[in-house]
Chains A and B, each alone.
Chain A
Amino acid sequence: MSAIPPIPLTTLAPQSLGVRTHCPYCAFQCGILMGEDLGGGMPRVSGDPNWAVNNGQLCIKGWTSAALLDHPQRVTTPQMRDARGEWREASWDEALDFVAAKLLAIRERHGADANGVFGSGAVTNEKAYLLGKFARVALGTANIDYNGRFCMSSAAAAANRAFGLDRGLPFPVADLEHAEVIMLVGANIADTLPPMMQWFDRQRANGGRLIVVDPRRTPTGRVADIFLQLTPGTDLSLANGLLYVAIEERLTDERYVADRTNGFDAVRALAIQYHPARVERLTGIPESQLRKTARWLATARSAMVLTGRGTEQHSKGVDSVHAWINLMLALGKVGKPHSGFGTLTGQGNGQGGREHGQKTDQLPGYRLIEVDTHREAIAKVWGVEPSSLPRKGKSAYELLDSCGESVKSLFVMGSNVAVAAPHLSRLLPKLKSLELLVVADAFHNETSAHAHVFLPVLQWAEEDGTMTNLEGRVIRRRVVSRPPFGPRSDIDVLHHLAARLGCGEKFAFRTMESVFNELRRATAGAPADYSGITYAKIEQQDGVFWPCKSDDDPGTPRMFAEHFHHADGRAKFFAVEHRAAGEEPNAEFPLFFTTGRYKEHYNSGAQTRTVVKLQNAQPIPRLEMHPRLARRHRVVTGSKVTVESRRAKVEFVAEVTPDIRPDTLFAPFHWGGQAAANLLTSAALDPTSSMPEFKLAAVRIVKVG
C-alpha cells in the first residue's frame, strides 16, 4: 500500500505540490506538478489537475518520470575513449577541443557535408532551432536530419500538400469530447497516450462512437464500437474503399467539395475502382463493416479521423495519409466544428521539432530550404549571406546509411538511432566506421556504445524551454530540479563548439528565452509563425496555439474553418493508388511483422529502461502471435521463437493472443542489441517523406524452443 499517498493529492492547492511543468515523454505533454524529493515513497511528480489537456491524469511513465533525475547511471562528466577503446573521463575543454578539431579536419579533407548532425523530436523548440542553425551556420553542412523523420514525416508531408500547412491536430484535444464519431487509424492511444483516453471516455459518455483500425485488437481497439482488423499495409485501400462507398451511397458533400477543394474528379475516378470486393480482399475488412463505417463517418454531424504511426510508417505512408484526408474532405468534414483530420504526434516535441529547421529540407517556421525567399528571410535573421546556407541534404535514413562513406562524422543529440532506425544490422557497422561519433545525452545508450565522445547534457526538468504539443500548443517546461555538477545545457555545448568553429557570437545566448526570441523573429511571416508567442503569454494562457502573429494575437486553437493555407485558400485532393509494400509476404517469408509500443516504455527505451518500476513491469519484448499460428508452430506463451526476415534473425519470447491477426506477428521496438525488433524491419522508404517501412516486414518463424 505504500504507493498510495495518505492524502488525496487533489485536495491540496497546486502550488503546495510544486512547480507546474510537463512530463518528459510523449507529445501529449501532460501537465505535471513537481516538488522536492520528500523521501518516504512520496511521489515527486503528480498530474496537474488544472492543465486542461490531461486534467491531472498521468500514465505510469509520467508517474515515475522523476526517477530519471538523480539516477545512479546518469553521466556527469564528458567521456572520451582511451587507448584500449574504453571510456575515460575528460574535461569539457578537452572533449570540445577534440570534437571541434575533428569536425574542422573532416570539413577540410572531405567538405562541409561530410559532417552530419542528427537531432530529435524530444528536444525543446529552442534546441531544435539552435541545432539547425548550428548545422547550417557553424558546420555549413546540408546533412542534418532528425528522428522525427521516423515518426511524423509522412503525416506532415501529406498535410502540407493537402492543407498547405501541417499542425498535427488542427483543433484542441478537448474538441474530441464533442465529436459524434471518431475513427482512429493505426493509433493505440490506450498504450501510447494513456491519459488521452479520458477524452475518448468523455466522447463516448456524450453518446459518441469510436472506430478503431488496427491489425491488433489493442486495448484501444477493445473499447471501440467498430473494430476493423485490417491487413498490414492496406490502410490506403481501406480509405479509398470507404470513399467508394460514400460515393456509391451519395454520402459525399458536393457543396463543400465544390466550394473548398480542388482535384476531386481525379480522386473520384480512382476511388470508384475500389469496389468492396476488391477492398475486402486486400484489407480483410468485410463489406458490411465498410459500409457501416462509411455511413457513420458521413452521416455524423461531427466526425474525425485521427491517424497514428500504424498508417504512416510505410513506404506508401504519405499516400495513405492522403487517402484519409481525401475521405474527410469528400465528406466535407475538415474545418467543421469538432471534425476533420488530425495526426497524433508521437515524440514530446515531435510537432515543434519538425518546424524549426532540424529537417534537412526545412528552415525555421516550416520554411523550405530550397525556396529562395525563405532562405533570404532566415539568412537575414542569422546575419549570413543567403548563398552561404546549404541546400537540402540527406534525409534521416539516407544520412545514417551514408555513415562511413560520404558522411565521416555524426553529432547525435537526444536520439538513439542504434535502436530506433530500421534494418539495424546494416546500420551498426556503419556507425562503427565513422571517424567521429558524438553523442550528447544524459544517459549512455545503444548509440553511445559506438561513440568516440560522450557529452553529458541537462535533462528535461533541469532546464527551461518550450515544447509544442500534439495540439500545436506551445507550452513551457520549467526548471524544477537542480542538476548534478558536470552536465551542461545543449545550448551551452553548441555555443562552445561554435566558438571553436569560429562563429561563437552567433550562438552566444545567455538564456533559453533569448533563443526563443530569435526563433520568434526567424518564424515571423512563416507558415508556423511563432512571432507573437512570448514566455509570458504562454504563462497567461496555459499555452499558445500557433500560428500567433503579433502581440495581441491570442493564437489559433482551430484551423481551416474559413480557409486552407494554399494560395487559393482551398484544400487539395491527391489521387492515390494502392501499391505493394517494400516487401510483401510470400511463400518463403509468409508472415507480416509489425512493431509498436508498450505503455511502460518510450521509443528506444533509453530513458524508460533505466527506470526500475517500468523495467520490472515490462522487462522484455514479447512476440504476439495468434493461437492458430501458434498451434501450427507448436508455440505456447513463453516459448522462445526465432523470427527471420531477409535481413536478420531475432529471438523473442512468445505471447499467444487472439487479439492479433493470424497472419501477423508483433513486437515492440523499445529494446536494442539482440532483441531489437528493428533488426527485422526494412529500410524501404516513402518516396516523398523518406519514412522507412517500420510497420511491415515479411518474416518467417525459423525456430521454436
Chain B
Amino acid sequence: MKKRLAIIGNGMAASRLLDELVRRNATDSFEISAFGEESRGSYNRILLGRVLSGSDPEEIALKPTSWYAARGVTFHSGVRVAKVDPVGRRITTITGDLHPYDVCVFATGSSPLVPPVRGLKGDDGSPRDGVHVFRTIEDCMAIRDRARPGSSAVVVGGGLLGLEAAKALCDLGLHVTVLHLDAVLMNAQLDKSGGELLRRAIEKMGIFVRTSTSADEILGNGHVEAVRMRAGDVVPADLVVFACGIVPRVEAAKASGVPVNRAILVNDLLATQVPGVYAVGECAEHDGKVYGLVQPIWEQCAVLADVLTGANPRARYLGSKVYARLKVAGVEVASFGITDAEFPTDEVVQVFEERRGVYRKLVVRDGKLAGAMLVGCAEAAPALVQMFDRNEPLPPNRLDVLATGNAPTTAAEREVCNCNHVTESAVVEAIRDGCDTLPALCEATRAGTGCGSCRGQLTTLLANHTQTTLA
C-alpha cells in the first residue's frame, strides 16, 4: 500500500520538490498529490518580468497540467487548503473538502507585502483599480492591461523585485517612479556607495528614484490617480505596483497547530515539530532564516526528497549561502554574504571607480571572503562566489581576485611555430631586422625547425613583410 504524500502549494518550491521526488522514483512508494491555488500548472516566477513585457505565459511554464497526470501525480488545481488535521491526517480545503494524507508538505510560499497605506481600497471597500502586486502571472497580465505608453507608474520598493518591475514598465514606455523606504537602493544587498551608483544607473535608464520615502496614501476617484508620499508630495500615477517584500504564508499552518515564528519552523530535515508535517521554501524558517531566493529553496527540496524517499535518510539541510543578482538589463549588480565589517578584525577592500560607475567591495574574515558586492561590472562575481561557497583562502593581495583574467590575447601574440613557441610578432620583427630568406628567418627565430609545418606561414609572412619594407 502506497503512502499518500500531499504537497500544499504549487509554486516553484512545490514544482522543484516534485522534480526531486520523481527523480528518486518516489511515485513507486507514494501517491503524490499537489494542491495549487492558481489554476495553471507551476511556472517560473523568476521570468515574470517576461510576461510583464508581453510574453505568452506559456513560455515560462515549468509544468503544464498534463505533466502531473503523466507522472501519476494528482493535481488539485484552484484549490486552497484551509488547514491540516495532523492527528486525523486529513487536509481540509476552504470549500470543506477533505483529503486524507500520510505525509504532508507545506510549500505555500509567500504573498507580497503590502504596507498599511490609506486608500488601498475604494470608497465601496473593493480593491482600488490600478493598485497591483507583482507576484503571479495574473498580476502581470493585469498590470500589462493597464500599462499603456504614456501612462505613469509608481513602484513601491527599490529592492531586487521592485527594480525589475520598474525596468519592465519603463521598457513598456511608462513614466516610472520608484519609492524606496531606505536611503539606499537594494539596501539588503548593498552599502551606501553601492546603492548610490546603482541609483545613478537606474536613473540613467529613465526611471525616477525617490529614497527614504514610501507611499502614504493612494488617491483617486475610483481608480488610482496619484500617490501621496511620506513628506506630503503627491506623484500622479495611473498604476501603483507594490514590490517591497514578501510575507510567508502561514495561515493554514497556524490553523493546523504547526509552530510558526516568522514562518513555519523546521529543523535540518525540513520537518516541523508536528509528526508527518514538513515545510519547504519561502514559508519555512530554518535556523532563524527565511529564504526568498530560488537557490536555497532548491537545496531544501533536494534534502527533503532525500529524506522522504529514503534515498539518503541522512541528508540534512544546513542553511544556504545566498547569491543575489539583479535582473535588470543594463546594470550589473551582484552581492553575497555580509555587506560590511562586523568585527574590528574584519578587513574591507573597496575599489570605487566613480566615472565608470563601477564599485567592487570585499569583506574578508580570517583570510576568507565573508561577503562581496559588485555594482556596474560583475565580471568577477562568479569566481568570487565560488570562493565564498568553497570557503577558499584569499591570496595575500586581495585585489588579485578582482582581476578577471579574461583580457583577450592580441593577434600578434599568436604562435606561428608551435614546436619552438615562436610568436608572429617575433617572426615579423626578425623579418624587419633583415631576415629576408626562409633559412635566415628559421635560423634567427628557430621557427620552422621543429615539425616544419609552419613554413608555409613563414613564407607568407616573409612575402607580406618584406614587401612592406620595400614599399
Would you call A64 and B382 a contact (CB within 8 A)? no
- Which of A265, A288, A587, A628 contacts B400 (CB under 8 A)? A628
Closest-CB distance, A180 to chain B (whole angstroms): 18
- Determine how close the nearest CB of chain A comes to the CB of B167; give it in whole angstroms: 14
A224 to B400, CA, bound (A): 23
* Residue picked from B325, B400, B413, most chain A C-beta under 10 Å: B325
Question: With an 8 A cutoff between CB atoms, is A219 at the interface?
Answer: yes
Tell yes or no: B452 within 8 A of A by CB.
Answer: yes
Please, could you name 27 A-B residue pairs with CB atoms under 8 Å apart, sorted by A?
A: A3-B449, A3-B452, A4-B448, A47-B453, A57-B453, A57-B456, A58-B451, A58-B453, A62-B451, A63-B451, A195-B453, A219-B415, A222-B409, A222-B413, A223-B409, A227-B406, A231-B386, A268-B59, A269-B63, A273-B44, A278-B294, A280-B382, A281-B382, A284-B383, A285-B382, A286-B404, A289-B379
Return the contact of B453 from the options A1, A63, A269, A284 (Cβ within 8 A).
A63
A59–B451 Cα distance when bound, in Å, is 6
A42-75 contact mask (Cβ, 8 Å, vs B): 1 or 0: 0100010000000011111111100000000000
Other A-B pairs, 11, CB within 8 Å; known A277-B325, A281-B386, A288-B379: A59-B451, A191-B418, A223-B414, A265-B64, A269-B61, A278-B294, A278-B295, A284-B383, A286-B379, A628-B400, A632-B395
Cβ-defined contact, B452 with A63, below 8 A: yes
Cβ-closest chain A residue relative to B55: A250
CA distance A57 to B452 in the complex (A): 9
Q: Which of B443-468 contact A (CB under 8 A)?
A: 443, 448-453, 456
Q: How many Å from the CB of A24 to the closest CB on chain B? A: 15
Interface bits A1-24 vs B (CB < 8 Å: 1, else 0): 101100010100000000000000
Contact A286 B452 (CB under 8 A): no
Q: Are B382 and A658 in contact, with the CB atoms below 8 A?
A: no
Given contacts A248-B47, A269-B62, A288-B379, contact A617 B419 (CB under 8 A): yes
Task: Give residues of chain A (164-222) contacting chain B, Cβ–Cβ below 8 Å.
Answer: 190-191, 194-195, 219, 222
Which residues of B have CB within 8 Å of A268? Answer: 59
A262 to chain B, nearest CB (A): 15
Nearest A residue to B409, CB-CB: A222
Q: How far is the CA of A222 from the CA of B386 in the complex (A)?
A: 24
Cross-chain contact A1 with B382 (CB below 8 angstroms): no
* Cβ proximity bits B386-416 to A, threshold 8 Å, 1 near / 0 not: 1001111101100010001110110101110
Q: Tell me which of B295, B381, B404 has the highest count of chain A C-beta atoms within 10 A of its own C-beta.
A: B381
CB-based nearest A residue for B395: A628
Mark A248-280 against chain B: 1 for CB-CB distance below 8 A, else 0.
Answer: 100000000000000001001100110111101
For residue A575, give the distance in angstroms from its CB to the closest CB of chain B: 10
Closest to A587 in B: B391
Are A229 and B405 in contact, with the CB atoms below 8 A?
Answer: yes
Chain A min CB distance to B14 (Å): 14
Minimal Cβ-Cβ distance residue in B for A62: B451
B101 interfacial contact with A, CB 8 Å: no
Question: Are A288 and B332 interface neighbours, CB within 8 A?
Answer: yes
Question: Would A272 and B415 be within 8 Å (CB), given that A222-B409, A231-B386 are in contact?
Answer: no
Interface residue? A247 (CB, 8 A): yes
The CA of A32 and the CA of B442, in the complex, are separated in Å by 23
With an 8 A cutoff between CB atoms, is B435 at the interface?
A: no
A663–B61 alpha-carbon span in the complex (Å)? 37
Once the chains bind, are A286 and B378 in contact (CB under 8 Å)?
yes
Alpha-carbon distance A195/B438, docked complex (angstroms): 21
Chain B minimum-CB-distance residue to A288:
B379
Q: Does any Cβ of B come within 8 Å of A565's Cβ? A: no
| Residue numbers in B under 8 Å from A663 (CB-CB) | 386, 390, 392
Which A residues are in CB contact (< 8 Å) with B324?
A: 277
A168, B309: Cα distance in complex, Å: 41
Is there an interface contact between A229 and B406, defined as CB atoms closer than 8 Å? Answer: yes
Total interface residues on B, using CB and 8 Å?
A: 57
A residues within 8 A CB of B121?
none
A638 within 8 A of B: no
Distance in angstroms from A81 CB to nearest chain B CB is 39
Nearest-Cβ distance from residue B109 to partner chain A, whole angstroms = 17
**C-alpha spacing A283/B64, complex, angstroms:** 29
Cβ proximity bits B308-338 to A, threshold 8 Å, 1 near / 0 not: 0000000000000001110100001010000
Known pairs A219-B418, A275-B46, A283-B382; A1 contacts B439 (CB<8 A): yes
Say if the beta carbon of B235 comes within 8 Å of chain A: no
B35-59 Cβ-contact flags toward A at 8 Å (1 or 0): 0000000001011001000000001
In the complex, the answer to whether A280 meets B390 with C-beta atoms within 8 Å is: no
One digit per residue, 1 when the CB lies within 8 angstroms of any chain A CB and 0 when it does not, for chain B 74-115 equals 000000000000000000000000000000000000000000
A281→B413 contact, CB < 8 A = no
The reply to whether the CB of B60 lies closer than 8 angstroms to some CB of chain A is: yes
Whether B385 sits at the interface, judged by CB under 8 Å, is yes
Q: Give me the interface of A with B, judged by CB distance under 8 Å.
A: 1, 3-4, 8, 10, 43, 47, 56-64, 190-191, 194-195, 219, 222-225, 227, 229, 231, 247-248, 265, 268-269, 272-273, 275-278, 280-281, 283-289, 577, 585, 587, 590, 599, 617, 628, 631-632, 658, 663
Bound Cα distance from A22 to B125, whole angstroms: 86
Given contacts A223-B409, A278-B295, A287-B378, contact A248 B50 (CB under 8 A): yes
B297 smallest CB distance to A (angstroms): 12
Once the chains bind, are B386 and A284 in contact (CB under 8 Å)? yes
Q: How far is the CA of A47 from the CA of B406 in the complex (A)?
A: 36
Residues in A neighbouring B438, C-beta threshold 8 A? 4, 8
Q: Are the C-beta atoms of B64 and A281 separated by less than 8 Å?
A: no
Chain B residues within an 8 Å CB radius of A265: 64
B393 to chain A, nearest CB (A): 7
Whole-angstrom distance between the Cβ of B155 and the nearest chain A Cβ: 21
- Min Cβ gap B396→A in Å is 8
Taking CB atoms, residues of chain B closer than 8 Å to A585 are 390
Nearest B residue to A195, CB-CB: B453
Nearest neighbor of B411 in chain A, beta-carbon distance: A223
For B62, give its contact among A57, A225, A273 (CB under 8 Å): A273
CB neighbours of B409 from chain A (8 A): 222-223
B62 touching A272 by the CB < 8 A rule?
A: yes
**Which of A10, A223, A283 has most B Cβ within 10 Å?**
A223
B452 near A272 with CB under 8 A, answer no
Give bound CA distance, A462 to B396, whole Å. Answer: 59
Q: Which residue of B lies closest to A244 (CB)?
A: B47
Contact partners of B61 in chain A: CB under 8 A? 269
Chain B, residue nearest A64 (CB) = B451
- Among B60, B404, B418, contact of A272 (Cβ-Cβ < 8 Å): B60
Quick one: which of B59, B332, B408, B448 contacts A287, CB cutoff 8 A?
A: B332
Once A1-B442, A227-B406, A227-B408 are accepted as A-B contacts, the answer to whether A631 and B332 lie under 8 Å apart by CB is no
Q: B382 contacts A286, CB within 8 Å?
A: yes
Q: Quick check: A272 and B400 within 8 Å, CB to CB? A: no
Q: Is A277 in contact with B379, judged by CB distance below 8 angstroms?
A: no
Select from chain B the residue with minimum beta-carbon distance to A58. Answer: B453
* Least CB distance, B111 to chain A, in whole angstroms: 22
- A195 to B453: give the CA distance in the assembly, Å: 8
Q: Complex Cα distance A257/B174, Å?
A: 35
Select which of A43, A286, A577, A617 is within 8 A of B450 by beta carbon. A617
Among B414, B442, B456, the residue within 8 A (CB) of A4 is B442
Q: How far, in angstroms, from A494 to B414 measured CA to CA in the complex? A: 49
A280 adjacent to B46 (CB under 8 Å): no
B323 pairs with A281, CB closer than 8 A: yes
Distance A551 CA – B209 CA, assembled complex (angstroms): 75
Q: Bound state CA distance, A277 and B456, in angstroms?
A: 47
Bound Cα distance from A283 to B386, whole angstroms: 9
Residues of A within 8 Å of B442, CB to CB, are 1, 4
- Which residues of chain B come closer than 8 Å to A285, judged between CB atoms? 382
Contact of B456 with A247 in the complex, beta carbons under 8 Å: no
Residues of B within 8 A of A195 (CB): 453
- Asked if A194 and B46 sit within 8 Å, CB to CB, the answer is no
Q: Which residues of B contact A57 (CB under 8 A)?
A: 453, 456
CB–CB B382/A56 < 8 A: no
**Assembly CA distance A43 to B382 (angstroms):** 50
Give B306 Cβ to nearest chain A Cβ, in Å.
13
Q: Considering the complex, which residues of chain B in the window 1-58 have a beta carbon less than 8 Å from any beta carbon of chain A?
A: 23, 44, 46-47, 50
